[in-house]
Structures are given as structure tokens and as C-alpha cells.
Amino acid sequence: MPDVSCKAWAVADAKTLRYLAWMRQEESRDIASTTKMMTALLSAQEIGKDATVLDEAITFSKRADDTSGSSTTIRAGESVSLRDAFFGLMLPSGNDASVALAEWYGMRKGAVEAKTDPLKFFVDAMNDEARRLGMMKTTFRNPHGITDPEHKSSCEDLVILANALMQYRFAAEVVGARGPQSSATGVAGKKREGDMEKYELR
């Protein structure tokens, strides 16, 4: 059995989803940044439909910039490619990128037409996808996992989510990447370059 400090955990075979070891895997608990697997999954689905979106410019809003627990150092008004935003999302802790991607997704999928906040639109989509995947002990309230009394999942559900995410080639490549380079472009066209793995743009 693994020697871990987690109060609940599960290890499963990636091909069969058969559990190899577990403890309290069925309990619904706070899930913190593992939330971002669903943010990544919804983004990866859009990339799977049209890979050209990887080069789209994602502009960080003040809301994204102000999101706590963020380390990609992208400022409000600056833009990065969706490719770089996805890398930033998967860093510890790309909470700002999660909001930027959520807003991008909401605007792309019809939040304006629905006259709703694109972030709320995205969170609704997260919960819809969770139901579709059979994640019955999961409720999302944001795209990053900052603690909310209703924002929970179980290890069983997270195994399902991780398996679904890894079906997308780009997502799998990002998870296995090391030291990606990135650049951010400001409103006036000024660029900052840096090593995203170190969470710094200069």
C-alpha cells in the first residue's frame, strides 16, 4: 500500500480503471487544484474540435489577474496564446489561467447570447460534463478549486476525470512537458518573455 498523507486516495489502472489500491475513495471532499482537470478537459474538447484555437490570444481580465493563488504573473490586459494559457493552467498554481480559460470558453460557447456571466456559464458546463461522465459525487463552484463549501468531489470521480482528460493528446503532452517558454503581450504591444515553469515573465 502507498505511504501517503492524504485522508482519501485511489490508485487505478489507466486502461481498465480497475482500482489497485484505495482508501475512502467514495467520500466527497474538498478537491483544491485537482479541479483544474475539468477546466483542462473542457478546454481540450474545444482544441480537439479545432486545433487552430491553440494560437488564439487569450486576454486576462482583471478578475483573472485578481484570482488568489496565482503564479503565472500575467497581468490584466495582457494576452497569451491559448496554448500558453493551458500550460499555465496546469502549473501549481495557475488559478488566474483557469479564470481566463473559463471566460474564453463561456464567450466562445454562447454566454453573451444567454446573457450570463461567461464564468458562470463555464462552471455550469463543468457540472454538466461531470454528470455526463458519471461523476455523481462532484459539484463544481469555480474553475480552480479555491475552497467553497459546495465545491467537492471524490477520488472515484477524480479517477474518471483524469482518465477522460488523458484521452486528449494535447492535454497528455502538456502534463508531460518540462520548462515551456512563454510570452505575454500587453495592450500597447509590449512583450514579456519567460520560463513558465518558473512562473516568471520578464
Residue that the C-alpha cell 495582457 belongs to: 78
To the query of whether residue 79 is one of the catalytic residues in this protein, the response is no
Task: Report whether 59 contacts 77 (CB < 8 A).
Answer: yes
State how far the Cα of 25 lies from the Cα of 27, in Å rounded to an integer. 6
Amino acid of residue 7: K
To the query of whether residue 98 is one of the catalytic residues in this protein, the response is no
Catalytic, out of 33, 43, 153, 154: 33
To the query of whether residue 182 is one of the catalytic residues in this protein, the response is no
Catalytic, out of 43, 61, 81, 93: 93
State how far the Cα of 28 lies from the Cα of 132, in Å rounded to an integer. 18
Catalytic residue positions, numbered = 33, 36, 93
